[in-house]
Structure 1
């Protein structure tokens, strides 16, 4: 996210870094690794090896997101605003790889540590349509998606803390209204491509065909609209590139797909992010005297989460790992910088965008990770519906950005 007067850059880390690489921030790196070790000890000793392994996978997610500068928000914006489809083609590579990894795991039905494996397959309905649309609007105002919010917080993006605050608040509102959207609004049952096409083998063939068609469509759009190229990204040379500078986008896509497969294999469910925001916010609301336990969202299997420690929650532990992994990576890369001045319009956009994303993610059965990435990789039709509606939301979001002093890519720009 960028203010027109440029007093502060609040876009995702990858969109604000240019030029040569600065020196590592040794002090920040020491804090990051120290916090990482302490939290790791608490998770392993208090909640077992499985939970500890998932925490470490979260740390690796944070490192990969930072080094790949992996953008969901920017990819959607670039495609809608100027027809630059390179970012979305990287998404398609990630989805194709994740689908190929998920298919045999889901077919087997079991993973490590005795985990029963289950994909993110969710119902189709008005809640997904509206929720994904709101998320698309929100991520263009908030300056980051769910994963981008966490790794940007870890990288020192002060304004993104406001997006996270709004995210938590919106998630609580979505949990409060959960019963209305899931029980009173019209909808269809979950649809798995594996059930439609006779198993995960057939579903994988169909899914790869869909992914290929989408990638081809972005090439056609780019040739017609002749968009600016992607901005150059700094990088170290040789082996130093692993810990400093940018990874190739294709490498980031493959690493994220592999880590999501590892999450499914170890945890029994694919990667998710925003359910933890609803948990954190609901726990805070309960501490203030709100009877969140009476909400439909916190009935059934989720009820125990309100009483259990936060570190017992898989998604929370992985979210903490993402922040600390990104913090360590940003410190070693020399890009960890806290901002002290945040323009009022940026504050408003961050909070509004966060609330829209939090609310949208809850009622749409997930965010850009839980619904889009993990949903599509799980062969759930709701993942594709989510992606389409988020693109529509992006269309509105990029038209609202100038009201908050935020830039939008233009055909005449030198780069996106």
Structure 2
């Protein structure tokens, strides 16, 4: 029987290893959701957007394959619960989209930039962490819990055990659960993959399409690590639990809340109740993976703020990302890839909010210029 400490260590070090690859690949391919949206809005160039969509398609197929094989139980994840806090998801997504545009990159991109030598990103991430922690447990959290989260749609009233597209499709059409799941995955994932791969230039760029495939597979690997390998019996309660995750259930990559937990661990290092989690290890892994690629490719260089105005803008964007990311239960990776892979309605709402908020901010910036 595997010891709990061994399971926790495996999840933490496994998360670090997967995130190390994520950071290196993201640096190599210039993977950036904000950049992908900007390319489409400002230049009508879809290369990075196609890479992101292909990664989502791969994550969707792999994640639901694990679920179908009984290797993970997605019904336990935070994304598919029948309670749908739609106001928090909409507002959080829009605010995060605005914040990442103002800060010229989402949390994942700033982790990658930090590994490549950006001290500006270090400051941004510290303020993201402070804002996220305030939204989890502080002043912002009181506002969120009092005014946003109570505005919730309880899907259980309609006999739904969760908020996934297959469950809703089965309810509306009378299909059995498995055919509804297969139909949903097939239509969405194959549609996204077909759109991404129909472009000849994209197919001719192996760095981008292979990068999309690898990033999607890493999301799947994160689910398998925390949801299968890290699922075991607790010696205290003798119940089956998920080890070394902040949500106490299965997770894959998400980077806003883990920055807050990382800051908390650094500030309260002697608190024996705090441990390095999958999320904290993954944030560190992205930075060091990006650093390894930057050093190997000789692209590492120190970078700071261009001006005082740049500093003010970046800090405002960081605060908005911290609040928006926690309120929306995830970021461009946490909801835009990990959450979407579960086919949760809430994740699609957040993703639409992020894209809408980012695009609107870019149009405003262009108008102002």
TM-score, normalization: structure 2? Answer: 0.75
Q: Secondary structure at the match of 2:134?
A: helix
CA distance in 1, matches of 2:182, 2:109: 28
Question: What does residue 240 of structure 2 align with?
Answer: none
Q: Cα RMSD over matched residues?
A: 3.4
2:157 aligned with 1:185 = no
Question: What does residue 320 of structure 2 align with?
Answer: 356
Q: Secondary structure at the match of 1:368?
A: coil
CA distance in 1, matches of 2:303, 2:43: 30
Q: Could you tell which deviates more after superposition, 198-207 or 253-262?
A: 198-207
Q: Secondary structure at the match of 2:333?
A: helix
2:211 aligned with 1:252 = yes
CA distance in 1, matches of 2:75, 2:151: 31
Deviations 1:198-250 (A, max 9, x none): 44553343244245656888999x9xxxxxx99xxxxxxxxxxxxxxx96111
What does 1:61-72 correspond to in 2, within 5 Å? 61-72=22-33
Q: Could you tell which deviates more after superposition, 102-111 or 362-371?
A: 102-111
- Distance verdict in 2 for CA 1:400–1:168, change over 3 Å: farther
CA distance in 2, matches of 1:325, 1:200: 38
CA distance in 1, matches of 2:312, 2:364: 12
For structure 1, list consecutive stretches of 5 or more residues without a partner in the other structure. Answer: 1-43, 223-228, 231-245, 288-305, 406-416
Question: What does residue 168 of structure 1 align with?
Answer: 129
Deviation at residue 403 of structure 1 after TM alignment: 10
Deviation at residue 402 of structure 1 after TM alignment: 6.4
Aligned match for 2:259, one of 242, 264, 277 = 277
Deviation at residue 284 of structure 1 after TM alignment: 7.0
Deviations 1:94-131 (A, max 9, x none): 111111111121234435xx999747335341000000
What does 1:385-396 correspond to in 2, within 5 Å? 385-396=349-360
Aligned match for 1:126, one of 87, 97, 110 = 87
TM-score, normalization: structure 1? Answer: 0.68
Question: What does residue 225 of structure 2 align with?
Answer: 266
- Distance verdict in 2 for CA 1:315–1:201, change over 3 Å: farther
> CA contact under 8 A between 1:57 and 1:318: conserved in structure 2?
yes
For structure 2, list consecutive stretches of 5 or more residues without a partner in the other structure. Answer: 156-161, 171-175, 228-250
Question: What does residue 382 of structure 1 align with?
Answer: 346
- Distance verdict in 2 for CA 1:403–1:354, change over 3 Å: farther
CA distance in 2, matches of 1:132, 1:51: 28
2:35 aligned with 1:74 = yes
> CA contact under 8 A between 2:59 and 2:219: conserved in structure 1?
yes
- Distance verdict in 2 for CA 1:278–1:200, change over 3 Å: farther
Question: What does residue 96 of structure 1 align with?
Answer: 57
Task: Figure out how many residues of one structure are paired with residues of the other and give that number.
Answer: 319
CA distance in 2, matches of 1:328, 1:286: 29
CA distance in 1, matches of 2:259, 2:368: 25
Deviations 1:386-408 (A, max 9, x none): 12111210123214546998xxx
Aligned match for 1:316, one of 255, 280, 284 = 280
